[in-house]
């Protein structure tokens, strides 16, 4: 159901606010392949985009039938941190959108709290959100379960049907839909290839946009879509 009166905009972080997905997935693909589990960055995006790292790695270990080395996380973290320092950027147009938005905003991400804060700080976005940073580590189930979005809405005293969620992953769209929130698909991250828009719409996004500057028009259109 789409509300004609939105009161809170919930942003995913990776791939929506910051263009971090390629850096993260390249690091995981490199270390996984070195460990003997051959996988590419595009394959990781297609299968796991939106999931938390622990959930993703649990699926991989079950599929592989082996445990990853104890030092796996440390190796990945080094690659990711180096990549972030060298090339992490805010999504084009996001600062202008945040300047324009008059509604309360928050972040709801599968990343750990310190990771969310670090990425937003590196890209100059942290001050825009204050303490309104919510992580999957704060709830019992991450995306595609709706728990994180329910938690964010509760913390900001907003009914789920008054929330707009901006997500780049099928798992995130699934979570927003399950929470009874309006889901807007974002396809502007550099990891989004052909068919990404269709996947988000298939998972229940009410609309999908290719550039952050399209958000204003999309929000106006969303409030005109009849409730279903």
Range of the domain at 199: 8-19+89-222
Residue 74: count of CB within 10 angstroms of its CB: 10
Sheet with 133-135, strands from edge to edge, namely: 133-135, 105-109, 8-11, 163-167, 182-186, 207-209
- By the 8 A CB rule, do 153 and 159 touch? yes
Query: In terms of residues, how long is the chain?
Result: 228
pTM: 0.85
> Does 60 lie in the same domain as 12?
no
Of 48, 72, 87, the residue at which a domain comes to its end is: 87
113 and 156 in a single domain? The answer is yes
Decide if 29 is inside a domain: yes
Within this chain, do residues 172 and 206 fall inside the same structural domain, yes or no? Answer: yes
Asked whether residue 1 is domain-assigned, the answer is no
125 and 190 inside one domain: yes
In this structure, are 210 and 111 located in the same domain? yes
Considering 69, 87, 105, which residue would you say is the last residue of a domain? 87
> Which three-class secondary structure string do you get for 127-177?
HHHCCCEEEHHHCCCCCCCCHHHHHHHHHCCCCHHHEEEEECCHHHHHHHH
- Return the closest-CA partner of residue 138 out of 160, 153, 158, 159: 153
Instruction: Identify whether the C-beta of residue 20 lies closer than 8 Å to the C-beta of residue 36.
Output: no
Of 63, 87, 111, which residue is a domain's last? 87
Q: For residue 141, what is the domain's CATH number?
A: 3.40.50.1000
Whether residues 138 and 199 share a domain: the answer is yes
- Torsion on CA atoms 111, 109, 95, 20, rounded to nearest 10: 40
Q: Are 212 and 115 in the same domain?
A: yes
pLDDT at 190: 85
- The verdict on residue 27 lying in a domain is yes
DSSP string, the chain: ---SS--EEEE-SBTTTB--HHHHHHHHHHHHHHHT----HHHHHHHHTTS-HHHHHHHHHHHHTSPPPTTHHHHHHHHHHHHHHHH--BPTTHHHHHHH--S-EEEEESS-HHHHHHHHHHTT-HHHHTT-EEEGGGSSS-TTSSHHHHHHHHHTT--GGGEEEEESSHHHHHHHHHTT-EEEEE--STT--TTHHHHHHHTT-SEEESSGGGHHHHHHHHTTSPP-
Answer yes or no: do 127 and 162 share one domain: yes
- Are 77 and 180 members of one domain? no
- Whether residue 2 lies inside any domain: the answer is no
Give the pLDDT confidence score for residue 4 in this predicted structure. Answer: 58
> Do 150 and 40 lie in a common domain?
no
Q: Looking at the structure, do residues 106 and 162 belong to the same domain, yes or no?
A: yes
Q: Which residues contact 180 (CB under 8 A, 6 or more apart)?
A: 1, 146, 160, 161
Which pLDDT belongs to residue 225?
60
Looking at the structure of the chain, the number of domains it has is 2
Q: What is the pLDDT along the chain (228 residues), one digit of tens a residue?
A: 455 589 999 999 999 999 998 899 999 999 999 999 999 998 998 888 878 888 899 999 999 999 999 999 999 999 999 999 999 999 999 999 999 999 999 999 999 999 999 999 999 999 999 999 999 999 999 999 999 999 999 999 999 999 999 999 999 999 999 999 999 999 998 888 889 999 999 999 999 999 999 999 999 999 776 544
- Indicate whether 15 and 36 sit together in one domain: no
């Amino acid at each position: 159901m789409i509300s004609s009166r939105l009161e809170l905009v919930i942003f995913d972080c990776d791939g929506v606010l910051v263009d971090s997905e390629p850096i993260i997935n390249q690091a995981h693909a490199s270390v996984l392949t070195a460990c003997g589990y051959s996988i590419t960055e595009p394959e990781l995006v297609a299968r796991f985009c939106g999931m938390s790292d622990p959930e993703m790695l649990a699926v991989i270990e079950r599929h592989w039938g082996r445990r990853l080395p104890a030092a796996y996380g440390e190796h990945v973290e080094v690659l990711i941190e180096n990549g972030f320092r060298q090339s992490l950027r805010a999504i084009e147009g996001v600062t202008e959108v945040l300047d324009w938005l008059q509604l309360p905003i928050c972040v709801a991400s599968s990343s750990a709290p310190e990771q969310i804060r670090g990425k937003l700080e590196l890209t100059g976005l942290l001050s825009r959100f204050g303490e309104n940073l919510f992580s999957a580590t704060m709830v019992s189930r991450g995306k595609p379960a709706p728990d994180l979005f329910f938690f964010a809405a509760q913390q900001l005293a907003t009914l789920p049907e008054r929330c707009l969620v901006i997500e780049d992953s099928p798992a995130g769209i699934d979570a927003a839909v399950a929470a009874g929130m309006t889901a807007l698909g974002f396809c502007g991250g550099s990891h989004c290839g052909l068919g990404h828009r269709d996947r988000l719409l298939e998972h229940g996004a009410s609309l999908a946009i290719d550039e952050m500057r399209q958000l204003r028009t999309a929000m106006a259109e969303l409030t005109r879509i009849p409730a279903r």
